[in-house]
A and B are shown apart, each in its own frame.
Chain A
């Protein structure tokens, strides 16, 4: 069994490594949040939302409802509303 190295030098080495790691993580996180907070990123993200909406609507098709369609839809809406408010 090897004896654990408990010298002061090793301790400082480990402490320095830990501090370095935390600093790097902090720097990276700052860098990333800085990017996310930039006006360009905010606008890009918002624009993406609009594009998604456009795509969603491009996949839809409006069809004319027959009288029975209308009745069925209205009945379902009113029935659901009554259940909510019961």
Chain B
């Protein structure tokens, strides 16, 4: 039957339908049925599968800091449930608050560091970092030729500002002012050397680098959603669930100390550390930033960071910058401490020194 004829029939008020219309209706009905059954399957799977519910709830949760106590408890319970199921071991996600009256600082003795990278491995283990595809390390150990160190300790405090007509406000003269290098140049530094390389090589310094926990962190200023922020102990943390993965913080960091999860992290269940903190070492997801937190799951409970405990030569010191009797404050007061020449006024709380 031609279309014109069918149209004429319809105009006349007839109920007669042609084959084309019939097939069209069957097609529409079939598609609707398929869509409905698929949606209902999803819903029923969601109700029986805790992972699906958890994921949806996580997507909808707000910024952790702004949540009510009840919402925080629910969020943590969701995560614990998911991690326990995912890794096959009882996992706890703590929300231990920052201790009062503490400002964490770190100091590293570059004359002691032997470049063994036990700190790197301890950090990976403690903080549930991706083991492969991609490999994520929050600590990198730089290997710097010793010849790059040029300063005279004897002349350290002999510099003074040059006098001028308006007073003693000129550039420094005397002391180390005319040294060609004037410090430890990292120009020929290497980050990777083979694991089986014998360390220490006497002609190199080893400088482990990680998040410097700046007091005025540019990464925090760059974050458009405030997923990263400075906690009351001066540690810069990330709400992984609130992070949108824009990587602005990574661009802003002058030390490039942040790591982005380009893929789904690979964390073998048998190697997973089940004692976690919401802002610390809980397993991250694809598409979010992560970085060193001074092991806040430990330090908020009065313990030392894992890298410090793993260091076989005692090159790492950690303490409270508010306490004049702490190791870090004593190092600042008595040792030769380094700063970056172009530090950009970020005031890092990670100090390198020579003991």
Q: Which residues of A contact B (CB under 8 A)?
A: 37, 39, 41-43, 45-46, 49-50, 52-67, 69-70, 73-74, 76-78, 80-81, 84-85
- How many Å from the CB of B95 to the closest CB on chain A? 20
Do the beta carbons of B341 and A77 come within 8 Å of each other?
no
Q: Given known contacts A60-B340, A62-B338, A73-B347, is B322 in contact with A78 (CB within 8 Å)?
A: yes
A-chain residues with CB within 8 Å of residue B254 when the two chains form the complex: 56
CB contacts (< 8 Å) of B182 on chain A: these are 61, 63
Residue B135 at the chain A interface, CB threshold 8 Å: yes
Complex contact B321–A77 (CB within 8 A): yes
Report the separation of the CA atoms of residues A74 and B189 in the bound assembly, to the nearest whole angstrom. 28
B residues within 8 Å of A by Cβ?
Answer: 103, 133-136, 140, 142, 151, 153, 156-157, 159, 176, 181-192, 209, 215-216, 230, 232, 234, 250, 254-257, 259-260, 262-263, 321-322, 332-333, 336-342, 347, 349, 352
Known A60-B342, A74-B332; contact A54-B191, beta-carbon cutoff 8 A? yes
> Which of A39, A58, A64, A66 contacts B189 (CB under 8 A)?
A58
Measured between beta carbons, the chain A residues less than 8 angstroms from B262 are: 41-42, 45-46
Q: Assess whether B341 is in contact with A49, with CB atoms less than 8 Å apart.
A: no
Known: A69-B339, A84-B234. 14 other contacts (CB 8 A): A49-B250, A50-B191, A52-B256, A54-B190, A54-B191, A55-B256, A58-B186, A58-B189, A62-B340, A64-B151, A70-B332, A73-B347, A74-B321, A85-B232
Task: Tell which of B140, B186, B209 touches A61, judged by Cβ atoms closer than 8 Å.
Answer: B186
Name the prevailing secondary structure of the A interface residues: helix
A53 touches B134 (CB 8 A): no
- Distance in angstroms from B144 CB to nearest chain A CB is 9
How many whole Å from A57's CB to the nearest CB in chain B?
5
By Cβ-Cβ distance, the 10 closest A-B pairs, closest first, are: A46-B134, A63-B183, A53-B256, A42-B263, A62-B338, A62-B184, A45-B262, A61-B341, A56-B256, A42-B262
Tell me the interface secondary structure of chain B in the complex: loop
Contact in complex: A77, B159 (CB < 8 Å): no
Task: Name the contact of B230 in the complex, choosing from A50, A66, A70, A84 (C-beta under 8 A).
Answer: A84
Interface contact B257-A54, CB-CB below 8 Å: no
Interchain residue pairs with CB less than 8 A apart (24): A43-B135, A54-B140, A54-B142, A56-B254, A56-B255, A56-B256, A60-B186, A60-B340, A61-B181, A62-B186, A62-B352, A63-B339, A64-B156, A65-B336, A65-B337, A65-B339, A66-B157, A70-B332, A74-B321, A76-B215, A76-B347, A77-B321, A81-B215, A84-B230
